[in-house]
Amino acid sequence: MCRHLGYLGPPVPLAELLLDPAHSLLEQTWSPRDMRGGGTVNVDGFGVGWYEDDGEPARYRAAVPMWTDTAFAGLARRQRAGAVLAAVRSATVGMPVIETACAPFADGRWSFSHNGVVAGWPESLAKAAGDLDVVDLMTLEAPTDSAVLWALLRHRLRRGADPAEAVREVLGQVVRTRPESRMNLLLTDGTTLIATTWGHALSVRRGEGSVTVSSEPFGDDEQWTAVPDRSLVVADSRDVRVQPVDEGELP
């Protein structure tokens, strides 16, 4: 299953976060350590969303293994950012390997990633997708479960929903009927990070005015704390809150 990462803190070159550390996201493309529920490598594309001073995200995505993209490696040495959401993809069998299926999915200030699979797709998604209007459907980025989850979340965010509540709602819509789904979601607007664990690994690292969440720890392992399964993480660069998610209490 895919691997993803979110960072908020002092601006750093993208390469320092994604490429250079021991067991970096780059290394997790060919040698991930904790792929639960299938998949051995994450070579079906990658994407990085980063925020500059104006708060608007920029995005780079490609449907190639991260290590083959020398243009990105060059960019990542020069580009600094104080907020980042990045992912490497292992496409679920049956879903296309295309650039627009790679996270981050983006809308305005929002960037989103899903690590996992909705059990019983596509039929299981049909009921949830009843929420979506024609605009949502016509602007779906890819025929994947993750893109539908993003459309459901984006629909709520555009209507001004509280982001953590919107994430809980989308989680609830899926796991109420298919609790065996793997639903690690990650959302940021460049100032707050919201993440869930549901069937996949996630760890958190707090630093001097920074927070990083990542499917797998990288750099110095001792700085990381594993997030228990079935949790909601809400973090900014100063504070990290991890709350258990009770299936029965999901909206």
Among 76, 85, 95, 183, binds ligand GLN (CB under 6 A): 95
CB of 91 to ligand GLN, least distance (A): 4
Among 85, 101, 175, 232, binds ligand GLN (CB under 6 A): 101
| Helices (runs of H) and strands (runs of E) counted in the chain | 7, 13
**Token pair listed for 205:** 């690292």
Q: Is 181 in the site for ligand GLN (CB under 6 A)?
A: no
Question: Count of residues binding ligand GLN (CB under 6 A)?
Answer: 16
Segment 39-58, which members bind ligand GLN (CB under 6 A)? 39
How far is 30 from 13, CA to CA, in rounded Å?
Answer: 22
Q: List % helix, strand, coil for the chain (3-state, nearest 5).
A: 30, 30, 40
Smaller CB separation from ligand GLN, 43 or 233: 43
**What DSSP letter does each residue of 107-138 carry, written as one string?**
ETTEEEEEEEE-TTTTHHHHHHGGG--HHHHH
Among 29, 110, 114, 245, binds ligand GLN (CB under 6 A): 114
Active-site residue flag, 102: no
Q: Is 117 in the site for ligand GLN (CB under 6 A)?
A: yes
Q: Is 214 in the site for ligand GLN (CB under 6 A)?
A: no
How far is 215 from 163, CA to CA, in rounded Å?
Answer: 21
Smaller CB separation from ligand GLN, 117 or 213: 117
Q: Is 65 in the site for ligand GLN (CB under 6 A)?
A: no
Cα distance between the two ends of the chain: 26
Q: Is 8 in the site for ligand GLN (CB under 6 A)?
A: no
Residue from 130, 131, 126 nearest 156 by CA? 131
Q: Is 90 in the site for ligand GLN (CB under 6 A)?
A: yes
Q: 13-16: list long-range contacts, CB under 8 Å, 24+ apart.
A: 13/76, 13/77, 13/78, 13/79, 13/80, 14/48, 14/50, 14/75, 14/76, 14/77, 14/79, 14/80, 14/81, 14/84, 15/73, 15/76, 15/77
Smaller CB separation from ligand GLN, 90 or 197: 90
Smaller CB separation from ligand GLN, 2 or 81: 2
Among 14, 18, 84, 91, binds ligand GLN (CB under 6 A): 91
Contact 26, 66 (CB under 8 A): yes
Catalytic one among 1, 2, 95, 157? 2
Q: Is 115 in the site for ligand GLN (CB under 6 A)?
A: yes
Task: Catalogue the active-site residues.
Answer: 2
Contact positions vs ligand GLN (CB under 6 A): 1-2, 39, 89-92, 95, 101, 114-117, 144-146
